[in-house]
Structure 1
Amino acid sequence: MTTQMQWLYEEGIGECRAALVAHGRILEAQIERESERVLAGAVAQGRLVRTLVPKKRGIVRLHSGEEALLEPLPPRLAEGGTVLVEIRREALGEAGLDGERRDKLATARAALPGQKAHPGPSLLQRIRATDIPVIPCPAHEEDHLEAHGWGELLDAAMRGEVGTEAAALRIFPTPAMVLIDVDGSLPPAQLGPKGAKLAAQAIRAMGLTGSIGIDLPTMNNKEERNIAAAQIDKYLPQPFERTAVNGFGFIQIIRRRERASLIELLRDDPALTAAMALLRQAERWTGGHGTGGGAVTLTANPAVIERIRRGPDWVARLEKRRGGAVTLAADPTLSLEQGHAG
């Protein structure tokens, strides 16, 4: 087990995965799904198709066909005019009040003079830019991601629950902000710092960004509240802004928002999330013989099987990687999470 920080990187079918690890645990986890959507950091040509607030806000249609919210509008830009924009935040899926899924457009600003069109950095490019060693994790080798708790972290993100009876978090993403409720059996003076540490670690691990509110227990005095706040500063890397812990135990954190958090990504399309997990399992299935490869059958809920069928070339890529035929079997008695390869 290495104590040095390093990125584990896995190029899967349908998505790429990365985890920053040290001391046997995951500090940060990121997933990048295959998509035609523009990535944060891209500079792209677009056309203003609608003005929402004169001189302030409008919608541009990029050459790819995707639309983005442009703010502020450059002077003298009229509807129908072309403009070079920089993508500040990628499009996000969001549940409405009626439970229906909605998309939030990517956000953009006018590109700076001299900038040229270019794609946004991929997940692999972003982690390489950190200057931390990147370790490739091919499917035919030991599952290093799982050895560091990948499955547990994804399960926690799906459930929005972290911790134990002594100190636990419940995480609630909302359209306005992410709310983290801290509860547990420890006395408030101990639960405050412990809950703040758990919250900081979860925020980093799950990539929670934007406005984040943490509801700590009500502590007895300012000194106890300062001790709790210090845990945020210790375990959550900059850049971020935060308030002090108020008398009711509430602290607010602001982190720059560029893409979906792990919670948002996994929950946005549960059938797709289950399909990605099943394809990952199928890549690594050995049939109990100690070596991978050969034919495999994927059995799962019909919605999961349909998502795999709809993948552009996922089955073909799995067959190529395994060197054998792939059979898809739909079983309506299985939940989304119960798919298996065998």
Structure 2
Amino acid sequence: MAEWLYEAGIGEARAALVDHGRIVEMAIEREDGALRAGTLIEAKLVRKADATGRGLVSFAGGEALLSPVPAGLTEGARLMIEIVREAIREPGNVKLPKARAAAPGALPSPGPDLKARIAATGVPVTSLLPHQPDRLEEAGWSEAIEEAASGIVASPAAMLRIFATPAMTLIDVDGTSKAETLACAGAAMAGAAIRRFDIGGSIGIDLPTLSSKAERQAAAAALDEVLPQPFERTAVNGFGFLQIIRRRMRPSLIELIGQDRATAEALALLRRAERARGAGRRTLVAAPPVIARIERAPGWIDQLAVRIGAGIGLRTDPALAISAGHVETDHIQA
């Protein structure tokens, strides 16, 4: 039976939908102050619609793109807006949140947090605690995080390379099997990865070139079997390319983890420190960017110290890979 595993970690909340012992969906919600999708907030129209048809609104703490701009609304006017897509970080840039005018009479309210979102699916939710068995790890959490960070998903049947670009997410399918076999396996793996990493917006899948219509239809059917609706897609064209459009409300895990690896590894190290066996002071040892990220958020260390009831130390080791952080404990329990 499927269930959501939920963990309220330091700096982020985590959730995984586990079915038959494996993760089929996962989500991370950072404590970064960004407005969540579904938030209702009062804003001021700063700029009416430009050539893209989107206006610009400002509110306490930030700005958002507004579409459509209500007819007759003048610059400087105030209105209630609903956040429909959260801000998305890109290399060297941050895409502003997207918003729409809220329904008449709407009052300010925060959007649902991660725990509320997974509870709304109707699937049972189990909250995990650090002293309990690590069911996220048992289901393959760290392996899935590494896939999201590297953009590489490999199996004996095929290998995917996933690239998040400003225009779309691209998935390249590679392997050594016959084209029709590889296309079906790769399409199924791509559909599973799209679901697992919550990839939305425009998605392109580059499959091997297929010579017949029947082979192209079989590859598309393999994707349809593993990727739940709603989504729209094209047929597989003669060059093996398939495009998908899914609703996009927040960054995918490919974007969240892959484009800020230091933060992802810092939070993962704090998670390991919470679960480290032993007693006494914990020392977190990691590559310099990871330790620097933790030092920029002193509240994380304070929370960790309270949760485990012990002092915390930090030590950089330039020889370590960014993902090779570990925790040293003064007194190891047998």
Q: Please state how far the C-alpha of 1:79 moved relative to its aligned partner.
A: 1.9
Q: Which residue of 1 aligns with 2:44?
A: 47
Q: Please state how far the C-alpha of 1:103 moved relative to its aligned partner.
A: 0.5
| Pairing of 1:267-278 with structure 2 (within 5 A) | 267-278=258-269
Q: Which residue of 2 aligns with 1:80?
A: 76
Identity, in percent, stands at 52
Q: 3-state DSSP class of the match of 2:210?
A: coil
Specify which of 66, 69, 85 is matched with residue 65 of structure 2. Answer: 69
| Pairing of 1:174-213 with structure 2 (within 5 A) | 174-213=165-204
Question: Which deviations, in whole Å up to 9, do the C-alpha atoms of 1:123-181 show, x marking residues without a partner?
Answer: 00000000100011111111101101111111111111112354111111111111111
Aligned length: 328
Q: Which residue of 2 aligns with 1:131?
A: 122
Q: Please state how far the C-alpha of 1:54 moved relative to its aligned partner.
A: 8.0
Q: Which residue of 1 aligns with 2:240?
A: 249
Q: Which residue of 1 aligns with 2:303?
A: 317
Kept in 1: contact 2:150–2:258 (CA 8 A): no
Q: Please state how far the C-alpha of 1:44 moved relative to its aligned partner.
A: 0.8
- 5+ long unaligned stretches in structure 1: 96-100, 288-292
Q: 3-state DSSP class of the match of 2:266?
A: helix
Q: 2: distance between equivalents of 1:170 and 1:336? A: 20
Question: Which deviations, in whole Å up to 9, do the C-alpha atoms of 1:278-322 show, x marking residues without a partner?
Answer: 1011001104xxxxx542111122322222122251111111111
Q: Please state how far the C-alpha of 1:330 moved relative to its aligned partner.
A: 2.3
Q: Please state how far the C-alpha of 1:25 moved relative to its aligned partner.
A: 0.6
User: Which amino acid is 1:71 matched to?
Assistant: S
Q: Could you say if the C-alpha distance between residues 224 and 155 of structure 1 is closer, same or farther in structure 2, counting changes exceeding 3 Å?
A: same
Kept in 1: contact 2:149–2:261 (CA 8 A): no
User: Which amino acid is 1:49 matched to?
Assistant: V
TM, length-normalised to structure 1: 0.92
For the aligned residue pairs, the C-alpha RMSD in angstroms reads 1.5
- 5+ long unaligned stretches in structure 2: 329-334
Kept in 2: contact 1:55–1:73 (CA 8 A): no
Q: 2: distance between equivalents of 1:331 and 1:51? A: 51
Q: 1: distance between equivalents of 2:107 and 2:225? A: 39
52-61 or 22-31, which deviates more: 52-61
Kept in 2: contact 1:55–1:74 (CA 8 A): no
1:91 aligns with 2:87: yes
1:339 aligns with 2:330: no
Question: Which deviations, in whole Å up to 9, do the C-alpha atoms of 1:28-75 show, x marking residues without a partner?
Answer: 010001011111111110112233528942211112x21101112112
Q: Could you say if the C-alpha distance between residues 204 and 55 of structure 1 is closer, same or farther in structure 2, counting changes exceeding 3 Å?
A: closer
Q: 1: distance between equivalents of 2:90 and 2:321? A: 23
Kept in 2: contact 1:37–1:66 (CA 8 A): no
Q: 1: distance between equivalents of 2:314 and 2:189? A: 40
Q: 1: distance between equivalents of 2:78 and 2:139? A: 48
